[in-house]
Amino acid sequence: MKLYYAPGACSLSPHISLHEAGADFEIVRVDTKTHRTETGADYKAVNPKGYVPALVLESGEVVTEGAAVVQYIADRFPAAKLAPENGTLARTRLQEQLNFISSELHKAFSPLFDPTASPDAKEAATLQVAKRLTHVESLLADARPYLLGEVFSVADAYLFTVVNWSSGTGIALTQWPHLAAYMQRIGTRPAVRSAMRAEGLVAA
């Protein structure tokens, strides 16, 4: 398999998941501004939507959209137990969290990365992010180690990836102590460190 990524972008989530699964894969860096890969190839030939992630399977099929990609990885490597079984309420809970992270938290951050966004737009986005983080804090307040409870899942890979953007957007996690502790805990996982090292986000 081949994962197309941009350092620190939402593609870090499937990158972490692939490491957690013990998968055999390679990574290809994408410049999201020029839509060129590190070899100079046209990334839109892989994913016409132009953004990461894209996971190219051995068959040549391409899976896009982060929440779909990580669920594919979880189902492809069931022994890693990165997702509850399909057809269970627990699986629905996973999808519930993935959809929340994607549609509410991930998108709330978007204006903070937009150089054309006005100060008012950025301020409004910061407030929206804070509301979403407050919701996550409430979930973690029961001292659960992971988002779904006692077992790490692909939802944790996605949540860690998105909340990690707070450090680069001036949002301190001090007002969400359970979330801050969660981020430290997830950040020490070997798979997370491996993915972040490969993307140049932490020292080797």
- Which tens digit of pLDDT belongs to each residue from 45-83? 999 999 999 999 999 999 999 999 999 999 999 999 999
Tell whether pTM > 0.95.
yes
Whether residue 37 lies inside any domain: the answer is: yes
Cα 112 from Cα 178, distance rounded (Å): 24
The pair of structure tokens assigned to 90 is 């627990």
Residues 7 and 51 reside in one and the same domain: yes
Alpha carbon 59 to chain centroid distance? 24
Domain count, the chain: 2
Query: Do 76 and 96 fall into the same domain?
Result: no
Beta bridge partners of 30: 37
Beta bridge partners of residue 63, listed in sequence order: 55
Averaged pLDDT, 161-189: 97
What does the longest C-alpha to C-alpha distance in the chain come to?
48
Q: Which two tokens stand for residue 51?
A: 């953004």
CA torsion angle 170 171 177 179 (round to 10): -120
Domain that holds residue 23: 2-80+191-198
Residues 97, 123 within the same domain: yes
